[in-house]
Amino acid sequence: VDAGYRGEVGVIVDNIAERITPFNSLKFEHIDGTTTETAKHARYCSRYGDYVEQDEVAYQTYIVRKGDRVAQAIIKPVEQAVFTEVAELGDSDRGAGGFGSSRHYPARWRRK
């Protein structure tokens, strides 16, 4: 959207990623005038560190009108893993020594 544009802007809200945010007052306004307070699967962290699961859905077009403040938004790419199934795994020494054999574990677990 150009900086000088003054009309309405519709944004498709696609809630496919779980996220953790410290905000507790997000509000989505849809093109039909209805609102939802949070996006589906959004997790909000209180100042005490506990998480509250919200299960309301913002799945329609979100309207940004003149004078609206847009803040506390998280805009980031969503990583999609691609897996390749194989018939069998290749030979390697990984894990041959059992749990912790790679020596990548906390020092407090090591034998003295």
pTM greater than 0.75 (yes/no): no
User: Worst-scoring range by mean pLDDT, 57-61, 73-77, 90-94?
Assistant: 57-61
pLDDT value of residue 95: 59
pLDDT over 50 (residue 100): yes
SS3 content of the chain, % helix, strand, coil (to 5): 5, 20, 75
pLDDT over 80 (residue 85): yes
Q: What is the residue whose two structure tokens read 């309301």?
A: 56
Please provide the average confidence, as pLDDT, over all residues in the chain.
Answer: 60
pLDDT over 60 (residue 79): yes
Question: Distances in Å between the alpha carbon of 71 and those of 28, 49, 64, 75?
Answer: 12, 22, 12, 11
